Structure 1
């Protein structure tokens, strides 16, 4: 994991990302902001998990929002995971001598560290994980019905936690978070294992160590088995914050050593044995194989040996088994929730690709022939395949719009899903435009909006066609826009929700920042080449489109902007950057282009620092809506960014505040944020990070690049930030040569994922 830039603070919503993203182990410690985490670190997008929404159960039905429904659905997904976990074989008792997979892990890791190749048979083949029934999505709750299991911790639990925290010298402010993270009996669990405090977002190992010393006294030591397990899980969680779904074993071992774990190998073994992490091996060679290598077929006279690497095979197993043992693999350690999500996603995508009827009665040929040339290739690809990838910028969305129009004309139930409400509005307008005339019954923007949903709304049931009798989404074709923003857990929920015989198109711009959550689903699918890929040839128009297109290929070009569509504003220091930014938003852009201040968005690399979002928002509030901040720092009329769930930010405005909480207007909808959730989920929104801004566009954008943010810049960050502007882009430039260097030389930071290997095992390459 890369280190957190100095522009990121820890005292804002989303402390999990702010405080800890820098600690995840990674081979690339370039000092920049991790794609998908630290740019978003400090937003509530990484601060809340499905488990942290337990207080939502106390709301009245009128207060239950789309975000809460999504979280409720994901809570049931976690319950399914726990059920599958319970169905596994009885784990090795803690503290006893380990055997099997856990015990063999040490040998595999040491083989890697010594320069030798770990063999594909280091681990015995596990029992196959039961496949999830296809109809299970039907059991996800509707938005107005939070599950009964979401009740807040009891008063007795809260008081017990308060007593233990006080005894250990921990801040009382942690009480609700600890009770929520550990659930009923949290006080007893924490007293028995003080390092469980690391389960709370934002708590670091050194803080948990101090708490443990206060509780355990002389019994506390760095070699405590409980500490080793807790730090192992914590490192894997921080890796997830930075986008990884698993870590290579040597990287995890090294990170544990840096955290003063005396025996990192034993810590990993113990964590695996306790079921708190899983171990995998992915083949490194090009030969067809499964992620968990199966034994080579034994010759007829080979006897009854299994060849699984357990050492129980006969000596006559032959050279095939020996060759199998020499196949190099990559040893990975990961948290179960992401492991199951990737496996479920691979299964679901394979099902979508293989379940398309061979005899399709739909005649796509006339639709392709009558479609615009740019869209015809996409329509032909969708006609013959269950899964299709489509790449392109903002203008290229006209092609999916033409596809949906053609499909609905053919009588298919075709829908689109976007990352944000703003994206939904923009794509609905494209469906209603002259370039993509809607089918009968959808000849207005309002009609088109019924065809376009947000992905969160689609999965929660708040938007879209709903579910059929078997629990699958009631549709024949789904186009997912903003596909790079889909993390692995959301993608798994989506894949499992699609009915057999349906078609899925994942469309997006591969140059933008990856998802805030773990995984790089769209990039992995593009790299796997397991399905058709259609690259749009439709360029984004105008000087801004030309500039952004150049950035996408690593070139920061000077473009002709006769209408001052692109303006560079050089500054010497952060103070001047803040001053010039306020001047641009309040006066210069509105006066020169007729764009009101509320339609000008400021984008900067981080939340902290002298020109981060906090400093910029303070300056802009003083100029545009001064006030005392009567409710948690907010006043009516304040521009805000509301992050109701991890990875999703909705711009809005404060309407009022009362006993119910903070009342917002977000994307035309009324939202009430309970007062206890305001600090975690609401920020001022005149200035955003690029991760908060992705999926949205504004008439004008002011991108602020202060000198202290130079190390945070990457090509995807610049591409994303500059691409948020529709009519005008101002760049407040204080990083000198760091900007062209980032565009030319700094690609997205790699993420460790297992999806390519899982897909390879199930789906042959389309090449």
Structure 2
């Protein structure tokens, strides 16, 4: 069937906000903030080839990077306008003369080095005159009373301890390492790559700072969830089987010949398969298949094995670089790259004839090439007018190159969506009565008459798909509601695909249902979406619902945005606004405006801070004292959201301080104690809130919303992280009664509109913003848009729709 992009061959400036302006914009990049390094001449490009930008942090919480990672991913931070020196520490986001303010705190951006965000980075903030509730507004210069200094000292001591521990571990990694002898130079670099993999660090990214895979949602607070029946305790799925010892030993021998550390043997054997040793001996650049290994390190390994002949022009090197560059792009959300961008990247790595090298990789079937039609308007905008141009020239196209797995997933998804619309008959649609659905009547009418409907709206609009599901059940349809994170009345997408939740599958492997409603659709990556659509039976209805303004999926693709952009399926836009001051604030952020909002009930409060140490102190004070006392919300109902894991006010530092205050203990179970609030990452892209129950020989026992999970002890370090503070990517899809967003001064590079929109929108009743980024917040909201992703789905959908219209009826 012909289709577009099929495979070929093999705003106005904002006024300076005062503290009463409650809006802070962070770009949540849970992708590891692996900044593009400056490579040696001829080895690594001096800059980022395609759209370059600071690499985002791939959240270990919801992302591919394990929680135990030492440093790395940075989520974009955001913060409100500057505060006034002196005065109370908390300021309500309200007109002058409003009620007492609340202290607030939030998380700091994680940079490539957790110590990159030192105390004092945040600019000194001004604090307008306002009173804080219940003594929560201790002055920034110290006005907390006699008991406060010791509390602050304890919190800061926890921060210092964490920084010192990380510094020690970094120093150990940078020192010569004994592995049968002292390693240095190339071998030490490779060993550092191994340790980066073991600690969960992502490889450097060279395309844009879109979040690296997989960064995804955070837990919903137990207080906000309806109780669910608790399944029987289940062990967590074990890690993939280790490669045979003989294969590992063979690989280790080849690595030793090249001066590479022995620790790379197991991951290389697993990545390359049965003949791993032979592959490495014949093509040393195959070492790039191991996560964390960089081109400069593979080059050194190749020179040690092959001698001086292993130069930049080696065809094997170019082929390996093509695949590696596309893998790095996938970590940033791309499913393909323009051929010109890929050639530029190859040239940056010293490949002498990048176009020929790319052509050779295509000819050998290592990558696939696609010709995607370019809209005439886009083509005119991209190219200057040429009066000599041939009027009869064909439609302009752009040449895309991608890996087979991502290409097949996008094509499978496009075919699956076309199948659903093509097999839907709409029988009985006239009998549907949308009157009982209230505001959701338009969605009910659309779903009754079409096989695929796209629904958009904010948090309040989630009531509409719920009303649709209720109407469908009343009509006798087998209905399933699936969400990215646990939600009342819904199964999780991951649980549905795994068979642990939702309807059973029929003999053809498809769900036994008539209507599938997917909430949080922007969080679907292309592979997950393809598997989900493939499981929906012919003739069934599918509704994709979500908020286009939130952070996108952790994995490759922009499924929801592409389906909207294709404009070939019915779209229903909710007209239900998010209520209250928080809803008004978030709605303004969505259109690039950081507005002043009235908050008579202290629904939104700004807490200006001068440095990261004060940000941590205020955060702990808010979670443990101020918010519970002023609003009656227990500490378990308050979630801290910060831009990244590292830094002086990242999730690590905040969680250390919050644990010391809320559940102190020796951490005798791998750093955890019974009662600790944690985030469990059972698989890349999933972040499940849980609480530690106990530990024994079987592993760490967790309670995840009533479900007992046992994490094997060898997986605890990589899959469990303290969860009082999370990143915005981990928080997508969940809401809490109160949220404290922490925006330290070092978070400025990570600020973006979608990060701020997502972080601020997680609060139901109260939002506190610990603000230390001065005017960077309104600038980010107004100017810093989500990073674009190169994908093919929209073109595929348009092509299939056009082909269907051309077919005889």
Corresponding residue SS for 1:644: coil
Q: Does 1:40 align with 2:48?
A: no
What is the CA–CA distance in structure 2 between the aligned matches of 1:641 and 1:21, rounded to whole Å?
29
State the partner residue of 1:265: 355
Is contact 2:61-2:686 (8 Å) kept? no
State the partner residue of 1:29: 52
Q: Alpha carbons of 1:579 and 1:209: their partners in 2 closer, same or farther (altered >3 Å)?
A: farther
Q: Alpha carbons of 1:214 and 1:583: their partners in 2 closer, same or farther (altered >3 Å)?
A: farther
1:172-251 alignment to 2 at 5 Å? 172-251=262-341
Corresponding residue SS for 2:549: coil
Q: Deviations over 1:310-331 (max 9, x none)?
A: xxxxxxxxxxxx9886432101
Q: Does 1:414 align with 2:432?
A: no
How far the C-alpha of 1:634 sits from its partner, in A, is: 2.8
Q: Does 1:692 align with 2:782?
A: no
Q: Deviations over 1:404-449 (max 9, x none)?
A: 111111111111100012xx23xx2xxxxxxxxxxxxxxxxxxxxx
Is contact 1:663-1:673 (8 Å) kept? yes
What is the CA–CA distance in structure 2 between the aligned matches of 1:8 and 1:760, rounded to whole Å?
31
Q: Which runs of 5+ in 1 are unaligned?
A: 1-5, 49-142, 288-321, 429-451
Which residue of 694, 702, 705 maps to 1:664? 702
Note the aligned Cα RMSD (angstroms). Answer: 3.0
What is the CA–CA distance in structure 2 between the aligned matches of 1:269 and 1:230, rounded to whole Å?
13
Corresponding residue SS for 2:759: helix
How far the C-alpha of 1:210 sits from its partner, in A, is: 2.6
1:285-684 alignment to 2 at 5 Å? 285-286=375-376, 326-357=394-425, 360-365=427-432, 367-372=433-438, 374-421=439-486, 424-425=487-488, 428=489, 452-684=490-722
Is contact 1:564-1:728 (8 Å) kept? yes
State the partner residue of 1:721: 759
State the partner residue of 2:749: 711
How far the C-alpha of 1:19 sits from its partner, in A, is: 4.2
Structure with greater proportional helix content = 1
Count of matched residue positions in the alignment of Structure 1 and Structure 2:
594
Is contact 1:364-1:380 (8 Å) kept? no
What is the CA–CA distance in structure 2 between the aligned matches of 1:536 and 1:469, rounded to whole Å?
37
Corresponding residue SS for 2:445: helix
Q: Deviations over 1:520-577 (max 9, x none)?
A: 1111111111111111111121211111111111111121112211110111122221
How far the C-alpha of 1:214 sits from its partner, in A, is: 3.0
How far the C-alpha of 1:238 sits from its partner, in A, is: 1.0
Corresponding residue SS for 1:606: coil
Q: Which runs of 5+ in 2 are unaligned?
A: 1-25, 38-44, 67-232, 378-389
Is contact 1:7-1:609 (8 Å) kept? no
Q: Deviations over 1:278-337 (max 9, x none)?
A: 1111011459xxxxxxxxxxxxxxxxxxxxxxxxxxxxxxxxxx9886432101111111
State the partner residue of 2:150: none
What is the CA–CA distance in structure 2 between the aligned matches of 1:719 and 1:208, rounded to whole Å?
41
Q: Alpha carbons of 1:534 and 1:602: their partners in 2 closer, same or farther (altered >3 Å)?
A: same
How far the C-alpha of 1:690 sits from its partner, in A, is: 0.7
State the partner residue of 1:296: none
How far the C-alpha of 1:187 sits from its partner, in A, is: 2.6
How far the C-alpha of 1:26 sits from its partner, in A, is: 6.0
Corresponding residue SS for 2:63: helix
Q: Alpha carbons of 1:187 and 1:683: their partners in 2 closer, same or farther (altered >3 Å)?
A: farther
TM value normalised by structure 2:
0.69
What is the CA–CA distance in structure 1 between the aligned matches of 2:404 and 2:62, rounded to whole Å?
23
Is contact 1:714-1:746 (8 Å) kept? yes
How far the C-alpha of 1:618 sits from its partner, in A, is: 2.1
What is the CA–CA distance in structure 1 between the aligned matches of 2:794 and 2:327, rounded to whole Å?
21
State the partner residue of 1:159: 249
After TM superposition, the structure 1 stretch with the greater mean CA deviation from structure 2, 658-667 or 688-697, is 658-667
How far the C-alpha of 1:185 sits from its partner, in A, is: 2.7
Q: Deviations over 1:736-760 (max 9, x none)?
A: 1111111111111111100111011
After TM superposition, the structure 1 stretch with the greater mean CA deviation from structure 2, 323-332 or 503-512, is 323-332
What is the CA–CA distance in structure 1 between the aligned matches of 2:512 and 2:330, rounded to whole Å?
32
Which residue of 333, 338, 344 maps to 1:254? 344
Corresponding residue SS for 1:282: strand
Q: Deviations over 1:701-722 (max 9, x none)?
A: 1111111111111111000000
How far the C-alpha of 1:510 sits from its partner, in A, is: 0.8
Is contact 1:414-1:478 (8 Å) kept? yes
Corresponding residue SS for 2:709: strand
What is the CA–CA distance in structure 2 between the aligned matches of 1:147 and 1:633, rounded to whole Å?
21
How far the C-alpha of 1:514 sits from its partner, in A, is: 0.5
What is the CA–CA distance in structure 1 between the aligned matches of 2:322 and 2:261, rounded to whole Å?
24
Q: Alpha carbons of 1:194 and 1:633: their partners in 2 closer, same or farther (altered >3 Å)?
A: farther
Corresponding residue SS for 2:544: strand
How far the C-alpha of 1:363 sits from its partner, in A, is: 4.1
What is the CA–CA distance in structure 2 between the aligned matches of 1:476 and 1:278, rounded to whole Å?
36
Is contact 1:240-1:518 (8 Å) kept? yes
Q: Alpha carbons of 1:43 and 1:17: their partners in 2 closer, same or farther (altered >3 Å)?
A: farther
What is the CA–CA distance in structure 1 between the aligned matches of 2:803 and 2:291, rounded to whole Å?
40
Q: Deviations over 1:652-705 (max 9, x none)?
A: 122233332222222321222223323332222121111111111111111111
How far the C-alpha of 1:466 sits from its partner, in A, is: 1.0
Corresponding residue SS for 1:371: helix
What is the CA–CA distance in structure 2 between the aligned matches of 1:686 and 1:520, rounded to whole Å?
29
Q: Alpha carbons of 1:260 and 1:471: their partners in 2 closer, same or farther (altered >3 Å)?
A: same
How far the C-alpha of 1:453 sits from its partner, in A, is: 1.3
Name which structure has the greater RCO, CA cutoff 8 Å, separation 6+: 2
How far the C-alpha of 1:203 sits from its partner, in A, is: 2.0
TM value normalised by structure 1:
0.73
Is contact 1:8-1:42 (8 Å) kept? no
After TM superposition, the structure 1 stretch with the greater mean CA deviation from structure 2, 147-156 or 587-596, is 147-156
Q: Alpha carbons of 1:676 and 1:173: their partners in 2 closer, same or farther (altered >3 Å)?
A: farther
